[in-house]
Amino acid sequence: MRETYHSQLDQVSDELVEMTRLVGSAMNRATQSLLDADLALAESVIAGDEAIDAIASKVEADCFQVSARQQPVATDLRIIVAALRISASLERMGDLAEHIAKAARMRYPSSAVPVQLRPTFQAMGAVAQNVVAKTGSVIATKDVSLAADIARTDEEMDRLHKELFSTVLAPSWDFGVEAAVDVTLLSRYYERFADHAVTIAKRVVYVATGEPYATVDPEAIVENLS
């Protein structure tokens, strides 16, 4: 019975890792559709969000089923609660990739990003890819040190977000209000994407250590364990 129980928990973990793979692919394609004004690629991201939502629904159903049959306590209960919250965060990350793709579709055949800002959005896309890959690893391994690395990667995304915001507000901005709105929203989507990864990292720390989620600081936890 216990072997079946832990096999079910492992299955939930595998489903969450698969969600990170799909979310990473969606963000990569969304960024490319944004930078290249690629309508077909944007449409593929929008259509593909259903697959992410489907796995999120399956994770929820699996967690409820395990809870009903096994009545978990202590660490096992933390795993199930965290899995539900992690799934919700990953589903939201998929939505953010979809929002970026929809912005690309809305401005097609033009680009929503002024050419001068392409390098910054390329960098944000790369950071997003990096952070979601680390998210998959931390879910799979429960390695708290990786959780701290996610928090540090988020700082780079925050820096890029602030850089874009400063650019839009600068007196030298001459791309108009529409472009300013596009850039501000898009930058916010990337910044929130990384924030959700940090939230997931904190959930993993909660599972591994029992540290209350509201007080979790991944980097401080690693320092205390070293």
Looking at the chain, list the stretches that DSSP marks H as alpha helix, in order from N- to C-terminal side: 2-36, 39-70, 74-107, 118-141, 144-169, 176-209, 218-225
The pTM for the full model equals: 0.92
pLDDT at 226: 42
Say if CB 198 and CB 151 are below 8 A apart: yes
pLDDT digits (tens, 9 = 90+) for 156-177: 999 999 999 999 999 999 999 9
Kindly give the parts of the chain with pLDDT less than 70: 1-2, 72-73, 212-226
Say if CB 154 and CB 27 are below 8 A apart: no
Query: All domains of the chain, ordered by start, with CATH?
Result: 2-225 (1.20.58.220)
pLDDT at 148: 86
pLDDT at 5: 72
118, 195, 199, 121: which is closest to 158 by C-alpha? 195
